[in-house]
Structure 1
C-alpha cells in the first residue's frame, strides 16, 4: 500500500500536534528545596523534606535508600559506603549528631538512640573492602 506525500505529511502533522497537546511543562515545587541539599526531595504537597534524616560521614556515598513517606518523621533507611574504618565512622556519628541534640551510644557495630524529637535512630556500621566501612542509617 502506498500513500501520497500530502497524506503522509498531514498524518505526521496531526500526530505531532496531538503529542504536543499531551505534554505539560515541569512545574517547580511550591517551596524551594531547603538549602539546596542534595537529599532534599519535594513531597506531593510541594514541601521539601530532607530524606537523609541525618548527615553522612564526610566522603561517604549513598548506596541505597528506602522511604516510607507518610509523614516527615516516618521511617527512612539509607545504606552508605564510607572511606574510613567502622570505629571512626561510629565515633563521628556519636559526636556530630550528639552536638545536634541526638542521644546516641555505641552497641557493638551499631550506634543506637534517639533524635532530638525522641524518634529512634539506628546506625549499623561494618567493615568493607579497602579500609572502608558500609552501613545503614535507620530513622523512625
Structure 2
C-alpha cells in the first residue's frame, strides 16, 4: 500500500502549508499528520517553522517561515471558527480513534463561544447535545463531532474540536 493511499490528506496539506506560509511575529500554528498506527508522518512546528517528514523511503527536515491560521482558514459544513479565533494546533490522524483534532484560541469567554457555535452549527444541520462543558454530536454527514471549551482568563477561551473517531 502506498503512502498516498494511507494518508490522502498528507501531501495536499503540506503543499498548502508551503504555499500559505508567511512570516508572523507571534507564535504560529502547529500541524501533525499521523499514520493509522499513530506514527507522525509529517509535522510543522508553529514556534520554529520547522517541517519534519518521516515517509517510507524519505525523511528530512526543513524550515518554513512561521504561519498562523485564523478563524476563516477553518470551515466545517460552512461553519468557521468564532470570529477573531486563531488556530494553535491541528492533528490529522489516520487511525480509527481520531480523524482530526484542532485546538484554537478565541477572544471571548467559553459561554459566548459555545452559544455562537451552537447557533451556527444548528443552522448547518449538525445534531448537537450538551455533555457537561462540551457540545457533542454529528455533522450533516454523520461524522462524530465534539467541541470542548475552557476559560483562559478574562474574556478569552481555548477550544478543542475533535472530528471523527
The TM-score normalised by the length of structure 2 is 0.50
Q: 1:100 aligns with which of 113, 117, 124?
A: 124
Aligned length: 96
Is the 2:108–2:155 contact (alpha carbons within 8 Å) kept by the matching residues of 1?
yes
- Mapped pair 1:111 → 2:135: yes
CA radius of gyration, larger in = 1
Gaps of 5+ in 2: 1-11, 17-72
CA displacement, residues 86-134 of structure 1 (integer Å, 9 cap, x when unaligned)? 0111111111011011011222211100000111100000111232010
4+ long deviations beyond 4 Å: none
1:123 to 147, 151, 164: 147
Matched, 1:65 2:65: no
1:1-140 matched pairs, under 5 angstroms: 52=74, 54=76, 55-69=80-94, 75-140=99-164
- Give the Cα–Cα distance (whole angstroms) in 1 for the partners of residues 134 and 122 of structure 2: 15
Structure 1: 5+ residue stretches without partners: 1-28, 34-50
Mapped to 1, the partners of 2:81 and 2:146 lie a distance apart of: 13
Alpha-carbon RMSD across the aligned residues, in angstroms, is 3.2
Higher helix share: 1
Q: Which structure's residues are more often strand, by fraction?
A: 2
Q: Equivalent residue of 2:120, what SS?
A: helix
